[in-house]
């Protein structure tokens, strides 16, 4: 299946192919890894950059019935795309937008005493309990009720009756490092806090948390990056299939001589006679300038990112610019290069986390920064997902 894009392929410098069948397979794999726990899907930040509506529809077709988003507008978009589902909003409840949550059937994740007061007030006005989740901070010191606030709420029968919490949750800070001592500390704190809300479902594990074992699964797991084919545990390959393939159109293949320079700042000087493929993707499309082959400070050591043509790797030369990136295709066999129209920037040959590390970042950031100039193709059967 191919879905139309707002950008025509003939007019685009790059294309992004999203394999919805792989996305569905990844959700099923995470469901299997979650043991007896139910498995939700995190689709925030526009479905990790891949399109929140098609991503949510595909996951629902695979059997997913619970979704997490970051902001209420994302929740509204998911509701309009898929209809019936349980949708939790991780952040953003205010006195100004609480009614919009109720109108769209969204369950806020209550992160503070103020959130609790806002939602309880709306429930009393509506004269009906309103579903929500309670987020208890167990060690990240980001969002979440403090243990003391959770204690106070647990003792407030009237507030609990108004709130009607359907989930109590926390978020792991170091799940991607399985041996980090904070994992065990957070687990113990979460068990103690959740015990105060008997009969309410519990959720702690993100993608990496699923692989910490059954003790972390509780009633509901919340995979995110693993659904999209990204690595979730430090030092381990991705547990799931790649979903996104990003390609740049080859605009020109040119010859350059040894000792000539490439790109802005003349930062890369060729050490041999070379063939250079110039593609129509740059940092204006979300392909990071920090992935440059030279001349840009990066967070990690290395010589920059690599593309691929027909499975043959081709390093980035010089600086990534706003609209263009140069690749060294000298070692790509002539018959392959003659037929090539695209360079793979992310995909099966160049995993998203490899491309991200070359730019000194993480796969999450690279995916969620993908631009709007790409033609987008959605492929894979999303109907037979159960």
Which H, E and C letters describe the chain, residue by residue?
A: CCCCCCCCHHHCCEEEEEEHHHHHHHHHHHHHHCCCCEECEECHHHHHCCCHHHHHHHHHHHCCCEEEECCHHHHHHHHHHHCCCEEEECCCCCCCCHHHHHHHCCEEEECCHHHHHHHHHHHHHHCCCCCEEEEECCCCCCCCECHHHHHHHHCCHHHHHHHCEEEEECCCCCCCCCCCHHHHHHHHHHHHHHCCCCCCEEECCCHHHHCCCHHHCCCEECCCHHHHCCCCCCCCCCCCCCCEEEEEEEEEEEEECCCCEECHHHCEECCCCEEEEEECCCHHHCCCHHHCCCCCCCCCCCCCCEEEECCEEEEEECCCCCCCEEEECCCCCHHHHHHCCEEEEECCCCCHHHHHHHCCCCHHHHHHCCCCCCEEEEECCCCCCC
pLDDT attached to residue 299:
42
Same domain (yes/no): 127, 204: yes
Residues 319, 172 share a domain: no
DSSP state of 373: S
Question: What's the rounded Cα separation, in Å, for the pair 191 and 156?
Answer: 20
* Gap between the Cα atoms of 228 and 89, Å rounded: 20
Q: Residue 169: inside a domain, yes or no?
A: yes
Rounded mean pLDDT, 284-310: 82
- Tell me, rounded to whole angstroms, the distance of Cα 340 from its chain centroid: 30
| Catalytic status, residue 44 | yes
**Are residues 361 and 251 part of one domain?**
yes
Catalytic residue among 44, 228, 287, 374: 44
What is the domain-level CATH number for residue 208?
3.20.20.10
Sheet architecture: strand order including 41-42: 38-39, 220-221, 201-203, 165-169, 132-135, 107-110, 86-89, 66-69, 41-42
Q: Is residue 9 part of a domain?
A: no
Predicted pLDDT at 313: 97
The answer to whether the pTM exceeds 0.85 is: yes
User: What average pLDDT is seen over the chain?
Assistant: 94
Q: Which two tokens stand for residue 237?
A: 């390959």
CATH number (domain holding residue 324) = 2.40.37.10
7 part of a folded domain: no
Question: Is there a single domain that holds both residue 215 and residue 283?
Answer: no
Q: Are residues 217 and 311 in the same domain?
A: no
Could you tell me if 87 and 223 lie in one domain? yes
Residue 3 falls inside a structural domain = no
**Domain stop point among 228, 252, 279:** 228
- Same domain membership, residue 221 and residue 251: no
Whether 305 and 339 share a structural domain: yes
214 CB-near residues (< 8 Å, 6+ apart): 35, 36
- Look up 48 and say whether it is catalytic: no
End-to-end alpha-carbon separation of the chain, Å? 18
User: Would you say the C-alpha torsion 7, 12, 13, 14 has a positive or negative sign?
Assistant: positive
CB-facing half-sphere around the CA of 73: CA atoms within 13 A: 2
Q: Of the given ranges (97-101, 331-335, 378-382), which has the lowest mean pLDDT?
A: 378-382
Final residue in a domain of this structure, among 228, 256, 271: 228
Specify the pLDDT at position 2: 40
Band (pLDDT 50/70/90 cuts) for residue 385 is very low
Please give the average per-residue pLDDT across 323-335, as a whole number.
97
Half-sphere exposure of 326 (CA within 13 A, CB side): 24
Structure tokens at 3: 């879905």
Q: Is residue 6 a part of any domain in this protein?
A: no
**What is the total count of domains within the chain?**
2
Q: Which percentage of the chain shows pLDDT scores above 90?
A: 89
Considering the domain boundaries, does residue 273 fall inside one? yes
Query: 74: exposed, middle or buried (C-beta count within 10 Å: 0-12, 13-18, 19+)?
Result: buried
* Residue at 5 is within a domain: no
Same structural domain, 207 and 342: no
Same domain flag for 262 and 197: no
Summarize pLDDT for 226-243 with one digit per residue, the tens.
999 999 999 898 899 999
Do 27 and 125 share a structural domain?
A: yes
Residue 297 has pLDDT above 80, yes or no: no
pLDDT at 5: 54
pLDDT digits (tens, 9 = 90+) for 128-181: 999 999 999 999 999 999 999 999 999 999 889 889 899 999 999 999 999 999
Co-location of 278 and 165 in the same domain? no
Q: What is the length of the chain?
A: 386
Catalytic residue among 191, 228, 257, 264: 264
DSSP-assigned letters across all residues of 226-289: GGGT---STTS--SS---EEEEEEEEEEEEE-TT-EESGGG-EE-SS-EEEEEES--GGGT--G
Residues of the domain holding 164: 20-228
Token pair, residue 149, equals 């606030």
């Amino acid at each position: 299946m191919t879905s139309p894009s707002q950008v025509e392929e003939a007019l685009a410098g790059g294309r992004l192919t999203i394999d919805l069948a792989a996305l569905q397979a990844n959700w099923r794999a995470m469901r299997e890894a979650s043991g007896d726990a139910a498995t939700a899907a995190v689709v925030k930040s526009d479905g990790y950059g891949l399109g929140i509506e098609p991503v949510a529809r595909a996951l629902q077709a695979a059997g997913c019935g619970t979704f997490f988003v970051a902001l209420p507008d994302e929740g509204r978009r998911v509701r309009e795309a898929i209809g019936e589902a349980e949708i939790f909003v991780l952040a953003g409840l205010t006195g100004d937008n609480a009614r919009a949550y109720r109108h769209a059937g969204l369950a806020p994740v209550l992160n503070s005493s103020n959130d609790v007061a806002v939602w309880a007030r709306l429930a009393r006005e509506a004269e009906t309990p309103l579903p929500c989740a309670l987020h208890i901070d167990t060690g990240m010191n980001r969002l979440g009720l403090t243990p003391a606030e959770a204690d106070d709420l647990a003792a407030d029968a009237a507030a609990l009756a108004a709130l009607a919490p359907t989930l109590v949750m926390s978020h792991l800070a170091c799940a991607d490092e399985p041996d980090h001592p904070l994992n065990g500390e957070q687990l113990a704190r979460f068990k103690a806090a959740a015990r105060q809300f008997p009969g309410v479902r519990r959720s702690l594990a993100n993608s990496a948390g699923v692989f910490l074992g059954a003790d972390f699964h509780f009633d509901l797991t919340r995979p995110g990056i693993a659904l999209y084919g990204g690595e979730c545990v430090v030092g381990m390959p991705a547990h799931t299939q790649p979903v996104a393939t990003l390609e740049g159109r080859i605009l020109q293949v040119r010859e350059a001589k040894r000792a000539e320079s490439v790109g802005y700042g003349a930062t890369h000087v060729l050490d041999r006679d070379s063939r250079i493929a110039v593609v129509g993707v740059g940092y204006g499309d979300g392909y990071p300038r920090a992935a440059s082959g030279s001349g840009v400070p990066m967070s990690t050591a290395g010589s920059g990112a690599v593309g691929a043509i027909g499975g043959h790797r081709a390093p980035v030369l010089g600086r990534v610019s706003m609209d263009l990136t140069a690749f060294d295709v000298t070692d790509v066999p002539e018959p392959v290069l003659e037929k090539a129209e695209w360079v793979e920037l992310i995909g099966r040959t160049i995993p998203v986390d490899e491309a991200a590390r070359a730019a000194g970042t993480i796969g999450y950031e690279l995916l969620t920064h993908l631009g709007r100039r790409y033609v987008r193709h959605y492929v894979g059967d999303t109907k037979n997902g159960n």
